[in-house]
């Protein structure tokens, strides 16, 4: 298993000589066809060509991130988010032996919806998030075991059976450090499950720079099935499941993402947002979000 070292990306425009090696394979980055991103010449991994501090990240993921920036209203999406989580839990049950006896830890637990949903299916479910607002809500409103903090600085009291990272790895400055620590925090044979965008998907390739997942600095890392598999293998994991499930969202949130966040048409959104039909949840599958489950090797 490779021991990673922390390497902070240079400021944008610093040039190839100043860049760290590829976090997946240690290759060299070069210009990418998508402005603002760079791509490994060896394995094809894509990352944002920006530098951001831990303090800036903490600021980004404050209360506004979940209420008006990345999400229209994350808490209002609870119903549809839980549907997504139930589908993932069903898949995990089919892959993880004796899941009812498992202790599960979630990195990026947000408002605790997954922890509450999965609790009846495992022996213990607990997690961490860097958003103080989200953790407060998770503890006070859902009564789940959530704590505020940086996972890389957290010392778990013992190794766990499962670790999940739902729509989290793309936000991390150093996802390789998180994967390496997850490997150490899992028992041999334990499982790491994650979701993230698939930049090798047909939709991502057709949309190019306009793919909805491309928006640094909130999304910093852009994996394909091949590069996430390579990263996991490098840190002692065998991928046992890859799928591209659909995601459920309320129509109002989709409208907000398209009209306000993407097109900046606030007035149009304000006119349409109160129509009753926009309360309806819909499931859309563009086959560009991957669900990956990997097992820690016993060596």
Render pLDDT for 261-298 as a digit per residue (tens, 0 to 9).
Answer: 678 788 887 888 888 877 777 888 999 999 999 999 98
Q: Is the pLDDT score of 18 beyond 60?
A: no
* Residues 44-50, mean pLDDT to the nearest whole number: 94
Share of the chain above pLDDT 70, in %: 88
Looking at domain 63-197+217-296, which of 3.30.450.20, 3.40.50.150, 3.40.50.300, 3.20.20.150 is its CATH number? 3.40.50.150
Render pLDDT for 245-271 as a digit per residue (tens, 0 to 9).
Answer: 998 877 877 777 777 767 878 888 788
Contacts for 45 with CB less than 8 Å, ≥ 6 apart: 22, 23, 24, 25, 39, 222, 223, 224, 227, 230, 231
Render pLDDT for 167-224 as a digit per residue (tens, 0 to 9).
Answer: 999 999 999 999 999 999 999 999 999 999 999 999 999 999 999 999 898 899 999 9
DSSP string over the chain: -PPP---PPPPTT--GGGSPPPTTTS--EEE-SSTTEEEETTT--EEE-----HHHHHHHTSHHIIIIIS-S-TGGGHHHHHHHHHHHHHHHHHHSTTGGG-EEEEES-TTSHHHHHHGGGSSEEEEEES-HHHHHHIIIII--EEEES-GGG---SS-EEEEEEET-GGG-S-HHHHHHHHHHHEEEEEEEEEEEE-TTSHHHHHHGGG-TT--TTT--EE--HHHHHHHHHHTTEEEEEEE---EEEEHHHHHHIIIIIIT--HHHHHHHTT-GGGG-EEEE--S-EEEEEEEE---
What per-residue confidence (pLDDT) applies to 255? 77
More confident residue, 109 or 82: 109
- What's the whole-number average pLDDT of the chain? 88
* Residues 62-89, mean pLDDT to the nearest whole number: 73
Render pLDDT for 97-133 as a digit per residue (tens, 0 to 9).
Answer: 999 999 999 999 999 999 999 999 999 999 999 989 8
What per-residue confidence (pLDDT) applies to 232? 98
What per-residue confidence (pLDDT) applies to 174? 95
Q: Is the pLDDT score of 15 beyond 80?
A: no
In the chain, where the domains are located: 63-197+217-296
């Amino acid at each position: 298993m490779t021991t990673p070292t922390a390497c902070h990306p240079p400021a944008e425009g610093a040039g190839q000589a100043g860049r760290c090696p590829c976090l997946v394979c240690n290759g060299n980055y070069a210009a990418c066809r998508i402005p603002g991103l760079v791509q490994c010449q060896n394995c094809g991994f894509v990352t944002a060509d920006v530098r951001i501090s831990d303090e800036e990240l903490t600021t980004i993921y404050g209360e506004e991130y979940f209420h008006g920036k990345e999400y229209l209203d994350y808490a209002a999406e609870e119903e549809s988010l839980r549907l997504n989580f139930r589908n993932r839990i069903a898949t995990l049950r089919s892959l993880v032996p004796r899941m009812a006896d498992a202790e599960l830890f979630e990195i990026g637990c947000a408002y605790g919806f997954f922890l509450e949903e999965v609790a009846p299916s495992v022996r213990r479910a607990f997690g961490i998030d860097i958003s103080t607002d989200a953790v407060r809500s998770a503890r006070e409103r859902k009564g789940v075991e959530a704590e505020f903090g940086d996972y890389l600085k957290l010392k778990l009291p013992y190794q766990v059976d499962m670790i999940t990272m739902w729509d989290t790895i793309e936000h991390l400055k150093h996802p390789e450090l998180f994967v390496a620590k997850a490997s150490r925090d899992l028992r041999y044979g334990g499982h790491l499950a994650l979701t993230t965008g698939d930049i090798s998907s047909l939709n991502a390739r057709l949309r190019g720079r306009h793919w909805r997942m491309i928006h640094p600095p909130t999304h910093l890392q852009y994996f394909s099935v091949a590069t996430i598999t390579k990263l996991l293998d490098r840190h002692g994991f065998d991928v046992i499941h890859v799928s591209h499930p659909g995601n459920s969202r309320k129509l109002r949130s989709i409208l907000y993402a398209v009209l306000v966040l993407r097109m900046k048409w606030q007035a149009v959104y304000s006119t349409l947002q109160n129509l009753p039909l926009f309360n309806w949840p819909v499931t859309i599958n563009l086959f560009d979000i991957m669900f990956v489950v990997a097992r820690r090797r016993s060596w």
